[in-house]
Structure 1
Amino acid sequence: MARLSGIEAVERPPTLGRRAYLQIQQAIRDGLITHGELYSENELAESLGMSRTPVREALISLNREGIIVIESQRGFRLRELSEAERQEIFDLRALLEGFTASRLAHSATGEDVSRLRELIDAQEALTATGDQSEFLSLDERFHLLQTQILGLQRTHATMVGLRGAMWLIGYEALSLPRRLEAVVAEHRAIVDAIERGDAEGAAEAARAHLARTAGALKPVE
């Protein structure tokens, strides 16, 4: 039997549940869904222009990931992270992202470095407008692209889970004056070390960036 080649796979559109998940994710990241409020599943479905079924599916996924808490017959709210949980998130990110930056310093191509720098340049352009939503979106892409370049599937999956928790504190982490500009400089330091093949310098720059981000957060009362 003849073998078929050169035929591109049909890209399947995301399911309604996945679309609801991504839209709720963005609403959390954009600060439209905030801490201390109870939200109605019915009203959310109406706002998204969807039936309750895909919205419920999305909320169950977010609940399973520890992003929201579903209160039976009442609605849902954002989960509050304890100080210990926040510290654990940053400790895990420091381990994973230090490791990833170090690996990239050994193997990154010029094209890989260019892709990372394009994201940083886009972030820098946003410092003038203060668009924190898009800035956070680019920040997520910058950090996750590094594991994608290396093909570290398990590391990438773990980092995706940690980024989910970061949605709960993303805006707060950018609250200090000039923090956007500082993040850009810290990202550049990571990529500069990667480009010159300095594995330890790249790992240290990644860890220092996360330490400064953690330091920008207010202690949990």
Structure 2
Amino acid sequence: MSTALRRVSLREQALDVLRQALVSGEIKPGDIYSAAALAERLGVSNSPVREAMLTLVHEGLMEAVPNRGFRVVPLSDADLDEIYRLRLMLEVPAMVQLAERGIADDRERLTALAEDIEKAAADRDVIRFLEADRAFHLELLGLLGNGRLVSIVANLRDQTRLYGLKALAAQNMLGSSAAEHRRLLAAIDAGDAQEVDRLARAHLEHTRREWAGTL
């Protein structure tokens, strides 16, 4: 976790980094992590990191181990399948709805986010790739004006495990995944609801079946 912390709230910065490290498998299920050790790696004081880890406990993503630290809550294949099906039910119809209403006013900003994903893929930077991917999808959903939808999907994304991304990055294969975002955005912008449905489903299927490898 070498990501630099640059925003105003150290707690929020630490939380962002920890979320992506958890999703990518850099923070591994079964291992116990102390706030002090992680704070030292991030170059900040213990307090914001401990607050961030307590937030993850509250969200059910980590659990406190008395007198020792924090541990990632493990997820089974059945858990990941449930998350995948819920994301299909929520995100695919939302993307179709966006295609029907249009995104002309937000096209430039969303294109820039898609480019961020592609740059991270080209650099084989898994953590930055995940951060950009998260921003892209949540920004898209946010255009519908349903804050609860964004919050629920954000939580589901944080429960996803994408351990296979490390192997894809090592093989310089993140680019094909990154390109899916630009194609999805183009289909939404064109108002092609059928193509949006197909691309959104395929993207989520890759997330579950190809990227969620084992540690």
TM over 0.5: yes
Which of 188, 191, 207 is equivalent to 2:201? 207
Structure 1 residues 142-167: Cα deviation after superposition (integer angstroms, max 9, x where no partner): 1101111121211111011112213x
Counterparts of 2:85 and 2:57, CA distance in 1: 23
Query: CA 1:51/1:212 → structure 2, altered by over 3 Å: closer, same or farther?
Result: closer
Which of 39, 44, 51 is equivalent to 1:49? 44
Which of 62, 69, 79 is equivalent to 2:63? 69
Q: What root-mean-square deviation, in Å, do the aligned CA atoms of Structure 1 and Structure 2 show?
A: 2.6
SS at the partner of 2:33?
coil
Counterparts of 2:167 and 2:102, CA distance in 1: 32
Counterparts of 1:160 and 1:88, CA distance in 2: 15
Deviation for aligned residue 1:35: 3.1
Structure 1 range deviating more: 112-121 or 32-41: 32-41
Counterparts of 2:86 and 2:29, CA distance in 1: 24
User: Greater CA radius of gyration, 1 or 2?
Assistant: 1
Q: For residues 49-198 of structure 1, what are the structure 2 equivalents within 5 Å?
A: 49-52=44-47, 54-166=48-160, 169-173=161-165, 175-176=167-168, 177=171, 179-198=173-192
Question: What is the identity percentage for the equivalent residue pairs of Structure 1 and Structure 2?
Answer: 35
Unaligned 5+ segments in structure 1 are 1-12
Counterparts of 1:126 and 1:22, CA distance in 2: 16
Q: Considering fraction of residues, name the structure with more helix.
A: 2
Unaligned 5+ segments in structure 2 are 1-7
When the two structures are superposed, what TM-score results if normalisation uses the length of structure 2? 0.81
Counterparts of 1:130 and 1:219, CA distance in 2: 17
When the two structures are superposed, what TM-score results if normalisation uses the length of structure 1? 0.79
Deviation for aligned residue 1:137: 0.8
Q: Contact conserved, 2:164 with 2:213, CA < 8 A, in 1?
A: no
Query: CA 1:178/1:42 → structure 2, altered by over 3 Å: closer, same or farther?
Result: closer
Query: Aligned partner of 1:35: which letter?
Result: P
Counterparts of 1:17 and 1:73, CA distance in 2: 22
The corresponding residue for 2:4 is none
Structure 1 residues 58-92: Cα deviation after superposition (integer angstroms, max 9, x where no partner): 32221121211211122112221110111111111
Deviation for aligned residue 1:211: 0.6
Counterparts of 2:214 and 2:122, CA distance in 1: 30
